[in-house]
Structure 1
Amino acid sequence: MDDEKTIFLGSEIEQPRPEEALFHILPIPYEATVSYGGGTGKGPAAIIEASQQLETFDNFSSPCELGIYTRNAVDVSGKPEQVMDNITAATREILELGKMPVGIGGEHSVTWGVIKGYLDAGVEDFGVVQIDAHADLRDRYEGEKHSHASVMRLVVEAGIPLFQLGIRAYCEEEMGARDKYGVHYLDAHQLVPTNVQEFELPEDFPRKVFFTLDVDGIDPSVFPSTGTPVPGGLGWYQTLNLFESVARQREIIGFDLLEFAPIEGFHAYDFAAAQLLYKLMGIVQRNR
């Protein structure tokens, strides 16, 4: 990767050696099961390109001081099972280096491949915190198990504790799945009207947390650039503060940013997604 435009923040930093960087950016341009608007397959490249406009100082610290290594995009050709295997292998490789995966997608189904990478690498006793508009707890959607609408069902079926934030679109099946698998949640109607900025994870929630952030969890007034926008979502600072609330309570062992679908001609949203990703790195840096 010699072209700075293919490296996250490549306008400001050189690509380090993999062993020198904590954050390993993993582009996953997969788009196969989206059910409304498309374009998430173009999300990773747009975010990386927009990152060239970022400052290295995020107003509080310089996350790039911990090292950011941008990996080659995952091969997302082939059947869903093969794509998940490819994501799993890439994630496991990062973890075996002792580094932190930072996935950028792509549709939300890819999170299962990432989580499976943790399991295959022998990472034990961790939970998942999810920001999203949708519960993603269907057994399958349109006949597909590896669907963006079913990804969290795979997570909880694997026995991984889940805490959901900002959900405001779910069906009765998903309500039942929450009860069956003991899913914790604070839905949008509990967070947004009173502008909740922090919350307490249950005492028995694992000490290690993977954080998955679907941009449609944020209100479409901030991110209309997503395939399935739902009104009534989280605000910009609220999203950052909820992520930081988790980082203060637990160890973030990785995170992803998904379902970003660029809108041609509206580069402000590309930049916002790049800035969001970098600010999440900053929060991790300052809470280590």
Structure 2
Amino acid sequence: MSEPTSDYPIFLGSEIDQPAPEQAYFHVLPVPYEKTVSYGGGTCLGPSAILKASWQLEEWDGKSKPCEQGIYTCEPVDCSVSPEQVVDNIAAATAHIVKQGAMPVVLGGEHTVTYGVIKGLKAAGFDDFGIVQIDAHADLRDAYEGDPLSHASVMKRCVDMGIPLYQLGIRAFCEEEMAVRQQHGVYFQDADELVPQNIQAIELPADFPSKVFFTLDIDGMDPSVFPSTGTPVPGGLDWYQTLHLFESVAKQREIIGFDIMEFAPIEGFHAYDFAASLLTYKLMGITQRTQSARS
């Protein structure tokens, strides 16, 4: 097996060649943005680590070959500019993917990245969609440490845009965020219900939009699975529960994109890099199979 030759190799490059953009359904967008992390750092290294580890994956994900739909790896978003410009850069890159008829698979980076992705989806013409979020934190503060573009405020920016939100696995939030949930009608099933009861599937409300963007913060999963994140919180989802919850959403709604946020590699512990890469590919596979079953 060949080894990656750059910091941002193509996803699954040991098995597939980089296709033309118009020949690929999944467009992997690396966004190495890290500005407002409030505990451990390293999320800017996440996209590169995931791409490099993907060279160790098999084409067959256990049930299908997601790569058969084509996987195109985009150039990383320029994150050297102001936070506002980074958000605009992410939005422009996301809108470009959607306008090519492809699905954005975004690798962060801190969770602020998702705000740019959502702006891009709106700019590309998606007016009626919801967000399903797996996370340890509600991220519904209006600002954190005075910054409205904080990773702790990303979901508040989204609900302020009028986008319906369903939160899964939350187990760290403040009174302000509880009030925002009530104010904006945020749906939720928190970790203290999901994990002890081993809930593997959810039923989305009848009025939840038919299209869904899924955002997965690595810290939504338990630190026993992923200690490689900036703000780990015990009591999170396990590997299979996470996959099954995603699949339950994908079976009910059309997934229009997803992201993997807040992965912070731990030097020398390649198992977590591989796990984050495999998680990305598994979500592609679930999306592929549920869409095929629906068509």
Q: Tell me the TM-score range normalised by the shorter chain.
A: over 0.9
Aligned-residue offset at 1:4: 10
Amino acid at match of 1:39: G
Aligned residue identity for 1:274: S
Q: Which residue of 1 aligns with 2:185?
A: 182
In the alignment, does 2:131 pair up with 1:112?
Answer: no
Partner SS state of residue 127, structure 2: coil
1:48 counterpart = 2:80: no
Contact 1:37 1:228 in 2 (8 A): yes
* Contact 1:135-1:170 within 8 A present in 2 as well: yes
The Cα shift of 1:79 comes to: 1.2
Question: Structure 2 stretches of 5 or more lacking a match?
Answer: none
Aligned counterpart, 1:154: 157
- Between the aligned residues of both structures, percent identity stands at 69
Q: Do the aligned residues in 2 keep the contact of 1:30 with 1:41 (CA within 8 Å)?
A: yes
Question: Residue in 2 aligned with 1:97?
Answer: 100
Task: Measure how far apart 1:122 and its partner are.
Answer: 1.4
Structure 1 residue 235 corresponds to structure 2 residue 238:
yes
Report Cα offsets for 1:193-238 as digits up to 9, x if no partner. Answer: 0110001000000000000000000000000000000000000000
Alignment of 1:1-288 (within 5 A): 6-288=9-291
Query: Counterparts of 1:287 and 1:77 in 2: how far apart (Å)?
Result: 38
C-alpha deviation, 1:124, in angstroms: 1.5
Distance in 2 of aligned mates of 1:42 and 1:138: 26
Q: Displacement of 1:3 after TM fit?
A: 5.9
* Total equivalences in the alignment: 288
Q: Residue type matched to 2:146 in 1?
A: G
Deviations 1:47-67 (A, max 9, x none): 000000000000000000000
Distance 1:4 1:29 in 2: 11
User: Is there any run of 5+ residues in structure 1 with no aligned partner, and where?
Assistant: none
Supply the RMSD in Å over aligned alpha carbons: 1.2
